[in-house]
Amino acid sequence: MTNRSVTVVETIPKDRYKYCLVGTPDVGLAGSIAISYLIQEQQMTEVGYFESDVLPPVMVVHQGNPKPPVRIYSKGDIAAVISEIPIEPHLMPTIARSIIDWVQSKNIELLISLSGIAVQNRLDIDVPTVYGVGSTSSVKEEIKRIEVEVFEEGFITGLQATLMKECLKKDIQNMILLVQSHLQYPDPGAAASLITSIAKLTNLKVDTKKLLAEEDEIRVKMRELMQRTQHQMQQTQKGQEQEIPLMYV
């Protein structure tokens, strides 16, 4: 019988973190690129991975080493969850609950979800704008402190919405950062804007010049992942965020 649960396997256990970043493939791969760059530039250590029968039978290979596609890295008081495969919509509630359970077990103060928000005129934008959604008034104050625009009206979809729903139920501090992005193309420029906001929030020192200098190379490398992500985004109606809801409260 198939086990429908998702387990976090910690290879290097630690009692607590202050922040947890989550980036999975969606609009412009902005969150995924941002997390990947932070892992490399901050020389984060791989500390765990997600294991489940419901996840696709996929292993990724880096420098000859096979690895699970959904992993956890850390450095200091920051943990980062990255997925190198698109998360199918039917798996999002299960994945979200496993992340939330792990966040609670580590007494994490703030869960930060990273994503893109599709804009049609992205080619005309030099520095993409980052918008923020907060689960509590204190998180909303943090959004303003780091000079991120508050996302006033619209929809949140995908894993970020599922995580926010769980955080509201369990009174966990959650911030969603959404950056203006290409819908169908990998967007390192959007990822750079996310990294700048994360650096302000967490006091990290990160230089995004290397990321911006390698934009074309990154777009080529991530082209296939972007194509695989398209189907998942259609199912979760990604790109709907800028639509205005019917009712104003």
pLDDT of residue 243: 53
| pLDDT averaged per 10 residues in sequence order, the chain, 249 residues | 77 96 93 96 96 89 92 97 92 94 96 94 94 96 96 91 96 97 91 97 94 87 75 60 51
User: Given this model, what pLDDT does residue 226 score?
Assistant: 74
In whole angstroms, what is the distance from residue 214 CA to residue 212 CA? 5
Q: Is 28 exposed, middle or buried (0-12, 13-18, 19+ CB in 10 A)?
A: buried
CA 24-164-195 angle, to 5 degrees, is 45
Given a contact cutoff of 8 angstroms between Cβ atoms, the answer to whether 136 and 201 are in contact is: no
Query: Where do the domains of the chain lie, and which CATH numbers do they carry?
Result: 17-236 (3.40.50.10900)
Find the distance separating the first CA and the last CA of the chain, reported in whole Å: 46
To the question of pTM greater than 0.85 for the whole model, the response is yes
Residues 6+ apart with CB under 8 A from 105: none
